[in-house]
Amino acid sequence: MGGSTLGNLACWRRRNPPGTNASRPQPCCFKMNLEFQNQSIVLSGDGAVLLSDGTLVVADLHLGKASAFQAQGLAIPEGDSEADLKRLKALCTWHEATRLVINGDLFHSPAGLTPHIEQLLETFVNDMRIPIELTLGNHDRKILRIPPFLSPKDSASYGGFQIIHDPADATKGVPSVTAHWHPVVRIADGKRTNLRLPCFIVRGDMVILPSFGSFTGGQVIAPEKGDRFFVFPGEDVVEVPGELIR
């Protein structure tokens, strides 16, 4: 982005008013290279991180969330899960990923793991032609029968990083890719207004991923000393200056 970060974010907001899905772009071609813990990683403008060995990591798809709400009698339309898997496939192709790790909460609930969702996943895995692994999240652990083709496990290690869902479970002193929080940062874009955007957080030894799913929501994370926040507002991946965070 040219110009100031504040100016660019304000322009983005004018083009994409609250209520649009612009903060969840289609498979993107923008990224930021970042040196972290003596490793070169890539923050992707679709909420993924690419490690130096070609492993692509995403988190918190919450597939079947609409189905879970439907099971409770709420009229939520289908479509997000299939669209998210298509977006993920395109992202892996764009980055030429050699492996995909879904870092927890692939599923939303047992009610959401319908035969349709399982068939979508099986087709996705067969079409990808790269290894795919699931590190279990808190929502996944509620499901008694995780499809075996997802190679479920508690954590993984690739590209010099531990990959584990919950930041609280990360090994202290070990570079880690975590998730779970669905992090959002609140950015001042005027005297009385602010903007909420999904973000990556770099905190200590960890990179904390935003949620990848389109139907997931997010929570504002209060910054701690030394934190770095990165957003992807439709044209680039940019670091948010500390003075703009609210």
Which CATH number does the domain housing residue 97 bear? Answer: 3.60.21
**Given this model, what pLDDT does residue 21 score?**
43
User: Does 72 or 246 have the greater pLDDT score?
Assistant: 246
3-state SS, residue 82? helix
pLDDT band per the 50, 70, 90 thresholds, residue 132: very high
Tell me which residue range forms the domain holding 122: 32-244
3-state SS, residue 73? coil
**Given this model, what pLDDT does residue 81 score?**
85
Task: Give dist(CA 29, CA 220) in Å, integer.
Answer: 26
CA 62 to chain centre: 11
Question: Phi/psi at 112 (nearest 5 deg)?
Answer: -85, -15
User: Does 109 or 126 have the greater pLDDT score?
Assistant: 126
As a whole number, the mean pLDDT across the chain is 84
**Given this model, what pLDDT does residue 71 score?**
53
Name beta bridge partners: 132: 100
Is residue 26 included in any domain, yes or no? Answer: no
Task: Give dist(CA 131, CA 8) in Å, integer.
Answer: 38
What predicted TM-score, i.e. pTM, was given to this entire model?
Answer: 0.85
Is residue 206 included in any domain, yes or no? Answer: yes
**Burial (CB count <10 Å: 0-12, 13-18, 19+), residue 145:** exposed
Number of structural domains found in the chain: 1
Is residue 171 included in any domain, yes or no? Answer: yes
Q: What is the mean pLDDT of residues 98-126?
A: 88
